[in-house]
Structure 1
């Protein structure tokens, strides 16, 4: 059973946070191990597996990037260890940010703020072309070409997240 079926939600690239929380607590209550304490070992094991599945789904849906990844994997458009080739212009921009990060590690905090702002701008810039696809996704209606744009966004965002993590390390 996929995560959307488990949570009885339509397949979406952007999950409704309120509906997610409500369904999560409903499922947690329904499958709470205390309710099955007198059941057979087999049933208890099944319930524990179900709870683990619910928790994995919830964790995935709480993270917008992981939700996108999950949908793309379900659609067969993304593989776990895929070597995706990002556009050269994006890679050049990220290389410049990476170099600026390396230089800022030995410089002042002001340049770190500048880099942070550049990263925020880059994040907005990569989201704009896919915003309507992500926010208005309809399973079965959204074209594969549109989903491939979302896939490119996912990999760009992943790259940017690595740089953000480096920035956090430099701020410490």
Structure 2
């Protein structure tokens, strides 16, 4: 059973955060291992496994990016995999060249100073949001492949943002 089914929620990107909270708390309380202290070891193990599954499902579904990635995985595209079949879509050569140029722009901004790094960082943050918006839109249209492409692009941008953050901290 997937995380949505486990928590009694529809399999879609848009979820009601309050409903997610309620569903998680109700199910977590019912499955909590402490409720099975006097039960058989098989029942205790089952409660622990169910509790762990509920916790993982809740963590994934409450995070917008992880939820989008999970929906892609349910559609047969694992953005964490590099397998040719069912793995993350390969990014085009033009995009990869752009990312190399952007890393060079980080070096240039570092030499220019903190304000240049901040300006570059602000732009990348906006692009992160845009990439997630494109992924969500694609998911809502049933286009998991396009959603996965936007999520992979978002990962590249996140790494660039992390690099910028490292530069700002120096």
Task: Please indicate, yes or no, whether the TM-score normalized by the shorter chain is above 0.5.
Answer: yes
Cα 1:79–1:94 shift into 2, 3 Å: closer
Q: Aligned ranges for residues 127-146 of structure 1 at < 5 Å?
A: 127=132, 129-134=134-139, 137=140, 142-143=141-142, 146=143
Q: Measure the CA separation in 2 of the matches of 1:163 and 1:121.
A: 13
What's the RMSD between the two structures over aligned residues?
2.1
Residue 155 of structure 1: aligned partner: 152
Alignment check: 8 A CA contact 1:112 1:167 kept? yes
**Unmatched segments (≥5 aa) in structure 1:** none
Q: 1:112 aligns with which of 117, 121, 124?
A: 117
Q: How many residues align?
A: 164
> Could you list the runs of 5+ residues in structure 2 that have no partner in the other structure?
83-87
| Counterpart selection for 2:108 from 103, 110, 127 | 103
TM-score by length of 1: 0.83
Q: Give the equivalent residue in structure 1 for 2:99.
A: 94
Provide, for residues 107-161 of structure 1, a one-character-per-residue CA deviation record: whole Å limited to 9, x for no partner.
Answer: 4110111111220232344345445344xx3xxxx44xx2211111111111111
Equivalent in the alignment of 2:39: 39
Asked whether the 8 Å contact 1:60–1:66 carries over to 2, the reply is yes
Length-normalised TM-score, structure 2: 0.84
Displacement over 4 Å in runs of 4+? 127-131
Distance in structure 1 (CA, Å) of the matches to 2:129 and 2:70:
22
Distance 1:130 1:44, change over 3 A: closer
Structure 2 CA distance, aligned partners of 1:50 and 1:128? 32
